[in-house]
Amino acid sequence: MTGVRSRQEKTIAAIGHIIMILAAALAIAPFWLLVSSSIQEESSIIRDGYSFLPKEVSFSAYQYLLGEWKQIGRAYFVTIFTTVIGTTLSLFLVSMTSYVLSIRDLPGRTFIFIAILLTMLINGGQVSMYITYTRIVDVRNTIFALLVPNLLLNGFNVMLVRNYVTNSIPRELQEAASIDGAGLFHIYIRIILPLSKPILATVGLLTALGYWNDWINGLYFVSDSKWYSIQLMLNQINSNASFLASHSDQLGQMANQIDIPTVAVRMAISVLVIIPIVLAYPFFQKYFTGGMMVGAVKG
């Protein structure tokens, strides 16, 4: 029986490994194709289409980016600045809100909890959001247009951190600190934040990905190119290239005189956009997995 069970376990393990290898290959394939296309000669892409192994290697797309680095580099800096500052402020607001909601005798705690929960269930709509941020708050063509709307305080993140603080940080530890004379802010800084690193790393990664990949807010609220993020710039390049390609007959000779970013250039920009996330994710993976498990709702 032991031998049979062992063979069965090995068979199941082998099947599991095969499935995971196939899943990993399917996940890696688009990124591999992206990198391959960015170093492929433009004429080869037009003639033969995309391929996982470039038939004619060329780094002209990256040379083009170096020549246009003043604009692209500025968009890259705006994206990095927005991601770092936005994630830091979001973690501060989310963690502080979550700690306050974990206090059982807090007056109005249920009302605040329901109000945050409603933001996850009911959406005010794009029109009301646009009017709020353009006519009332007026964040147009400022860095706040990329920081504030939708991404600074997320109800789902508040629930994750609040569940973690409630279920994973001993209340006796907080009560002992309070007896010793520590105030709420002191407890928050000295106890809550240090013991919440796993869930904060998880929430921080989700928030950073949201800021890094965001282009909708820029599309709504930014028209000045100096505030373009790298994602918004890539979207603009794709939109302009598609427009010129679809109206090439009407433009005639003028289309040939316009410097249209090629497919390889757009792929190269996408590679530059992805690289920081790919490099950062392995350092947060263990916190991401553990934080999601511990911060989940417990029955």
Q: Evaluate whether 294 touches 198 at the Cβ level (below 8 Å).
A: yes
pLDDT in tens, 61-97: 888 788 778 888 888 899 999 999 999 999 999 999 8
**In angstroms, what is the C-alpha Rg of the chain?**
25
Residue 141 has pLDDT above 70, yes or no: yes
- pLDDT at 22 > cutoff 90: yes
Per-residue pLDDT, 18: 93
Sketch the domain layout of the chain as residue ranges: 2-48, 69-295
Token couple for 268: 């190269």
Average pLDDT, the chain: 80
CB–CB of 229/146 below 8 Å?
yes
Q: Tell me, what's the pLDDT at 21? A: 93
Which pLDDT belongs to residue 257?
A: 47
What one-letter code names the amino acid at 164?
Answer: Y
Residue 243, C-beta contacts closer than 8 angstroms, at least 6 positions apart: none
E-assigned strands of 14-76?
none
When mean pLDDT is compared across 3-7, 101-105, 229-233, the lowest value belongs to 3-7
The answer to whether 94 and 158 have CB atoms below 8 angstroms apart is yes
pLDDT of residue 288: 61
Write out the two tokens for 81: 């600045």
Residue owning tokens 């921080």: 204
128 or 88, greater pLDDT: 88
Are the beta carbons of 37 and 263 closer than 8 angstroms? yes
242-278 residue pLDDT tens: 655 565 555 555 545 445 556 777 788 888 888 888 8
Which residues, including other chains, have CB under 8 Å from residue 207's CB and lie 6 or more apart?
86, 87, 90, 91, 94, 151, 154, 157
DSSP structural state of residue 222: -
DSSP string, 92-116: HHHHHHHHHHT-TT-TTHHHHHHHH
CATH class of residue range 69-295: mainly alpha
pLDDT, position 1: 46
Distances (CA, A) of 114 to 103, 117, 160: 15, 5, 15
Kindly report the backbone phi and psi dihedral angles of residue 40, in degrees, each rounded to the nearest multiple of 5, phi listed first.
Answer: -105, 145
Backbone phi and psi for residue 18, each to the nearest 5 degrees, phi listed first: -65, -45
